[in-house]
Structure 1
């Protein structure tokens, strides 16, 4: 069974790179993530360039475009601005697929009760966030991750900041939760 660490977040607005676990911690299981449409898989990131399992996932899910982004102050132009932008609560009209090749990061997603769930991502973690789910992204205290971005078709980079509840994709997502 794949393992991922996820938990309900506290309301603290201090450094976004900190874990922000409730006290006591309230873990969220893989099944809990699946209930809100989050797909997770652990792969061998050491062989990502020729991984037959990754190739099969891409074929099965129609992922035809991929690129790699390194997020670090020395590697990403306008690092501080980009990190702020990634951390704005938003949704996309397509699924968001990320595969962590090196380093660590967090994805935060909203649960059915609009509470934040923080998902700790490490090397080998592949995650798919469904179109229409509110989410955000940040690094942890290491300030480094290298991630593959996967898309079905041409890449779509447009994020729609909350509120976007009137978007058709948001309504479709909410209907799937019911």
Structure 2
């Protein structure tokens, strides 16, 4: 995983858009974004499944499925799904992804600066994007990603597009308050 500020230059969303301003795990954690790198090498004691199970149990992730974001995996929905994924939105549940193959970008809105931070995820990255944070997703130029999705409860994938109404959503308000509490601590 590599994280940096998005350059905001118009062009293909699948390109790096690397501003040269990097950020680190500590800053991402201060925004509520969690990351682990879990080896996919099955020769290592128990394989990746054991480590994912441990993290899932520790954080209360009870359910899981797999998503294959490719033209073959999504079929006729491919273009519309990619477009929807890249619209700025938030969810009322954490977005948890363990990358099995391929790669892509999660862009998160930094609060209070309102700048985009781009997170390039690769195989072995486990990323938690917290409920209430504005974000978006796109593939990179490999045009494919396969990810294990983890959920605290049953999947609830209602995206809430950024708007004044969404700004007052309880999950968004709680997210902002959690940042204010972290800044004081």
Instruction: Note if contact 2:40-2:48 (Cα within 8 Å) is conserved in structure 1.
Output: no
Mark the runs of 5 or more structure 2 residues left unpaired by the alignment: 181-185
1:57-97 Cα deviation digits (max 9, x unpaired)? 11111111111011112221211110000000000011110
Structure 2 residue matching 1:76: 3-state secondary structure: helix
Map 1:25-174 to 2 at 5 A. 25-47=20-42, 51-77=49-75, 78-112=77-111, 113-163=113-163, 164-174=166-176
Bigger proportion of residues as helix: 2
Q: Do the aligned partners of 1:45 and 1:100 also contact (CA within 8 Å) in 2?
A: no
How far apart are the structure 2 equivalents of 1:141 and 1:128? 23
CA distance in 2, matches of 1:127, 1:45: 15
Superposition misfits of 4+ residues, deviation over 4 angstroms: 46-50
- What residue number does 1:5 align with? 2
The answer to which of 91-100 and 45-54 deviates more is 45-54
- Deviations along 1:129-169, whole A, 9 cap, x unmatched? 11100000000001011001100111111110101101011
CA contact 1:94–1:130 (8 Å) conserved in 2: yes
Cα distance, 1:46 vs structure 2 = 4.3
Shift of 1:21: 1.2
Q: Secondary structure at the match of 1:26?
A: strand
Scaled by the length of structure 1, the TM-score of the pair is 0.93
Kept after mapping to 2: 8 A contact 1:107/1:137: yes
| Distance (Å, rounded) in 2 between the aligned partners of 1:12 and 1:73 | 27
User: How far did residue 45 of structure 1 move?
Assistant: 2.7
Q: Which sections of structure 1, spanning at least 5 residues, go unmatched?
A: none
CA distance in 1, matches of 2:96, 2:64: 10
State the TM-score, normalizing by the size of structure 2.
0.90
Query: What is the CA-CA distance between 1:50 and the residue it aligns to?
Result: 6.2
